[in-house]
Structure 1
Amino acid sequence: MRASRLVTLLLLLQNRGRMTAQELAEELEVSVRTVYRDVEALGAAGVPLYGAAGHAGGYRLVDGYRSRLTGLTAGEAQAAFLAALPDAAAELGLGEALTTAQLKLRAALPAELREHAGRIQDRFLLDAHGWYGDADRTPHLTAVAAAVWERRAVLLRYRRWRAPEEIERRVEPYGLVLKAGRWYLVADGPSGIRTYRVDQILGLRPLEAFTAPDGFDLAAYWHTYLAGFGARLHTGEALVRLTAEGARRAGLAPTSDGWTQARIPIESIEHAHGEFLRLGTDVEVLAPAELRERVTATVRALAARYEH
């Protein structure tokens, strides 16, 4: 742990030049006394740094003490910093490793590329989480990630939407995907390769190591999975009439007479019932009959309730 902190301290001084003991303590989340000890250890190890007292004081490295990484273009440096997902890394238990890696990369860059990389981090931010609701709780994410990395099978206890709701099965984890703030595990099991929501994992136990099949491409699998998602999700359609406002809210272009008739894919009668009720008086369900009857019954029940 201390060795990692010493490396981080050294890289901070390489990146930022002069820093006070208080500034270093805040960055490293340690006491100022610990910073003093770490600085002494670096000096004893032959690192050419010195400290100065006073208003403009602090610690700094002797000019010219810097390692350099050659052959990295400005575009490659920018891509490296754009690709970093600090929230995801933190969830996987890699937050400290990511910070150190970025410091190492920045310290190794020539000055002009270091400036490009800094501007990227200052001006662009990727927030993968949605607006509404709390982030999914994923207490087993670190353990799942370890199984993926170590190519170790696991015995999963998993909660799903259909009966039986809680199942247990042995799977071989191939990879993890972060989609819209939610983690998914891609794993091979009794029914072939499947996708599991990590926040629905109730428990897992590591088993023996396994060998992944040659040629498995996680990105290619995920793209294929997404392509078939709509087909699996939408099993029917509804015929509806929409006002201009309803068409706009449904993502459709309204017709000139103010009403738009459209066929809209639906996941199920139950799901469509709730979704169309959100549109209120801006929609009229024409078909299927079961959906129209269910919406009609709900509207009548609401009217009766609000008459009193």
Structure 2
Amino acid sequence: MTAAELSAELEVSIRTVYRDVEALSSSGVPVYADRGPAGGYQLLDGYRTRLTGLTSAEASSLFLAGLPGPAAELGLGEVAAAAELKVLAALPPEPRSQAAMMRERFHLDVPGWYRGSDEAPFLTEVAEAVWEQRPLRMRYRRWGPEEVDRDIHPYGLILKGGSWYLAAETSGEFRTYRVGRILRIEVLPGRFDRRPGFDLVAFWSKFAAEFSARMYTGVATVRLDPDYLGLLRYTIGNDITDAALDDAATGPDGRLRLAVPIESVRHARWQLLRLGSALEVLDPPDLRKLMAETIEELAQMYRG
């Protein structure tokens, strides 16, 4: 192609074409020019790019990001392993050795301790429907014993804390379903058109924020021995503890006064009892009363 043709195709100036061709040539790409009326720029016959543009850190991060467990759950274990081998073989020596070291020295295990991954027997079928834009009819178990039937357009899958979630459109609205709660599935005929502009990451971020806001419906005011702040973080999580610390005050006795977000009075009772006498509930009154009743029941049981 001539410089003028390249300029028109790439929508840049001819000067930019001259500059970029010179840069490509300097970096080892075998591009050369034939002079004359029928001339132009040409790549050496048979030339193929290799992954030489990856830095060592970039190559290493690829292998750290490759989670073999989730890939296998999606039915892509062998494909992911083959792709990893091909990428590794295409890397220059230094990035290749760095990537191999990363794989030898780091392993990502997604679920938390004492919590296994969800059993999701229909995950592979759901993943195929997501990829092929196939509508689904499913039998779904909601929270509690209720079962419902839903016709959905599956848009994307999210792995969160060892559990798979499905972002899907149903009756014109986007909803989230836990894949492990799908009881039965049927692939419907035809394909659906994805709604333009749908962003899976943005959708999940918004859902997670709204879910957190719905979950923490109340606030408990407590007094805490500051030496037990680490245990509070372990019990209710870093995010909730940080939110409570934003408006924390220290009393004359050195204890912290905190406003702690809670899901419910009954749920908060079991969470906060774990801190023993290091934490005192001041408000709301029904939580303070429930704490006292529970402690009295425990005291009577152990006295007996």
What runs of 5+ residues in structure 1 fail to find an aligned partner? 1-66
The total of aligned residue pairs comes to 241
Matched, 1:91 2:73: yes
- Name the residue aligned to 1:126: 108
Once residues 97 and 169 of structure 2 are traced to their aligned partners in structure 1, the CA distance between those partners, rounded to angstroms, is: 44
Residue in 2 that maps onto 1:176: 157
SS at match of 1:114: helix
Contact between 2:52 and 2:91, CA under 8 Å: does it hold in 1? no
- Residues 87-131 of structure 1: per-residue CA shift (max 9 Å, x gap): 111111111111111111222223333223222212332221212
Identity %: 46
Which of 174, 187, 193 matches 2:168? Answer: 187
Task: Return the alpha-carbon distance in structure 2 between the equivalents of residues 70 and 196 of structure 1.
Answer: 39
Q: CA deviation at 1:71?
A: 4.3
Extract structure 1 runs of 4+ deviating beyond 6 A: none
Which of these residues, 252, 255, 261, is aligned with residue 259 of structure 1?
255
Residues 120 and 227 (structure 1), Cα distance of their counterparts in 2 relative to 1, 3 Å cut: same
Matches within 5 A, 1:37-116: 69-74=50-55, 75-116=57-98
Cα shift at 1:237: 0.5
Task: Check conservation: 2:130, 2:156, Cα contact below 8 A.
Answer: yes
Aligned match of 1:17: none
Deviation at 1:277, TM superposition (A): 1.8
* Paired amino acid for 2:177: Y
> In structure 2, how many angstroms separate the alpha carbons of the residues matched to 1:226 and 1:108?
39
The aligned amino acid for 2:298 is L
1:277 aligns with one of 240, 248, 273: 273
Say which of 260, 274, 293 aligns to 2:289. Answer: 293
State the match for 1:200 in structure 2: 181
Give the corresponding residue for 1:152: 134
Segments of 5+ residues of structure 2 without an aligned counterpart are 1-47, 234-240
Deviations for 1:227-257, whole angstroms, at most 9, x for unmatched residues?
3332121111011122234444224679472
| 1:140 counterpart residue number | 122
- Alpha-carbon RMSD across the aligned residues, in angstroms, is 2.3
Cα distance, 1:68 vs. partner?
A: 7.4
Closer/same/farther in 2, CA of residues 104 and 305 from structure 1, 3 Å limit:
same
TM-score (norm 2): 0.72
